Amino acid sequence: VGLSFSFCQKANGLPLDKSLRSKKQKQHQRVRKEKPQQHNFTHRLLAAALKSHSGNISCMDFSSNGKYLATCADDRTVRIWSTKDFLQREHRSMRANVELDHATLVRFSPDCRAFIVWLANGDTLRVFKMTKREDGGYTFTATPEDFPKKHKAPVINIGIADTGKFIMTASSDTTILIWNLKGHVLSTINTNQMNNTHAAISPCSRFVASCGFTPDVKVWEVCFGKKGDFQEVVRAFELKGHSAAVHFFAFSNDSRRMASVSKDGTWKLWDTDVEYKKQQDPYLLRTGCFEEASTMPCRLALSPDAQVLALASGSSIHLYNTRRGEKEECFEQVHGECITDLSFDITGRLLASCGDRAVRLFHNTPGHRAVVEEMQGLLKRASNESTRQRLQQQLTQAQEALRSLGTLKK
């Protein structure tokens, strides 16, 4: 009896017939696990599609130096793309693995030497350091300790102030947390908006804003002392004018403009360059119609110069000129899933969107048209020659861009 095991030949620790059977089963499984079809989308203004992720992409972030785009997906990776390759045939990306978890949100640090992610299962923030290697690539190292768990509801957005002074995390209840970079909570904000649908830090780093079930966008100032020490968070101002819940909002690059979109079926552009301490309220510059917003959630992105508003609902994107409030472009069924993120690059020439396994980049033709219109207006009023030359140069560049895209209106 003691010897009987030697008669039963083993392969991989299994009796032979079993091992053959399991090989056959494995082959069957492999056949069944065909990759899902990549969603096909073509458009004359599609500049590129970035394809490397094997899972759906939930978030993107352009680095402040304009060199990189970070994307995270449920395939347990964060990818860092080189923006200078966008219009080339090959799109290189570097991969950072998220151990035993995946990231739902990603944001670059202002110095572009690190990025932060929100972990889907860990329910917390993780910091990755980016170290440049001699071969020009990067090594990504997660810092030993993740941030402590503080939120009681799912986190909907994270951000790092451009000054590098604080991090914001916001959850779908009414909580926004302000952290220092070491993972210590500096302040807790209760938005009192029933639930938060979006929250963000302004590019100037002074403000944190949120929107939700109430028809307003609330804005707070995060105050620091002269020596950079945190002091307090105070109410700054509100965007009042919508008549239903606000889905989403965004800041322009100089934080002097904000855009919002609401369940009331409209989008609004605001001038927020006000002295709120002297009780000045932001004022409404433009209201536009966006029917889709009344029946489904939507997101928006404002071009850096605030001339173009991009609105996404479902898998479609609509581009509006903010000066006239007119719709100029519409891209339908851009992704095989609902759009999860929408962002202009820092030049404002490209608009990026994600939702399925690809990032799609569009030429921002309304942005070029807005420049043409603005420069023509300024040229009529320009008095000295050097100003005229500068304006003419910008005008010619925008016209050239439109001509090369075949969209220059005569």
Q: How confident is the prediction along the chain (410 residues), in pLDDT tens digits per residue?
A: 333 333 333 333 444 444 445 555 555 555 544 556 677 888 999 999 999 999 999 999 999 999 999 999 999 999 999 999 999 999 989 999 999 999 999 999 999 999 999 999 999 999 999 999 998 889 999 999 999 999 999 999 999 999 999 999 999 999 999 999 999 999 999 998 889 999 999 999 999 999 999 999 999 999 999 999 999 999 999 999 999 999 999 999 999 999 999 999 999 999 999 998 998 899 999 999 999 999 999 999 999 999 999 999 999 999 999 999 999 999 999 999 999 999 999 999 999 999 999 999 999 999 999 999 999 999 999 888 999 999 999 999 999 999 998 877 65
Q: What is the residue whose two structure tokens read 């394809």?
A: 51
Q: How far apart are CA 45 and CA 43, in angstroms?
A: 5
Give CA torsion, residues 136, 160, 193, 185, to 10 deg.
Answer: 130
18, containing H or E segment: helix 16-32
Spatial contact of 183 and 132, defined as CB atoms under 8 Å apart: no
Residues in CB range of 168: below 8 A, 6 or more apart: 157, 158, 159, 160, 161, 176, 177, 178, 179, 199, 200, 201, 208
Q: Which domains does the chain have, with CATH numbers?
A: 46-359 (2.130.10.10), 364-409 (no CATH)
Coil, strand or helix at 392: helix
Task: Output the pTM of the full model.
Answer: 0.88
What pLDDT, on the 0 to 100 scale, is given for residue 28? 52
Per DSSP, what are the bridge partners of residue 51?
358
SS3 at position 365: helix
Percent of residues in the chain assigned helix, strand, coil, to nearest 5: 15, 45, 40
Q: Tell me, what's the pLDDT at 19?
A: 47
C-alpha pair distances (Å), 35 with each of 32, 38, 54, 396: 9, 8, 9, 46
Three-state DSSP state, 311? strand
Range 272-279 contact pairs with CB under 8 angstroms and sequence separation of 24 or more: 272/219, 272/237, 272/239, 274/237, 276/236, 276/237
pLDDT for res 369: 94
28: exposed, middle or buried (Cβ count in 10 Å: 0-12, 13-18, 19+): exposed
State the Rg of the chain over Cα. Answer: 25
Q: Enumerate the β-bridge partners of residue 320.
A: 309, 327
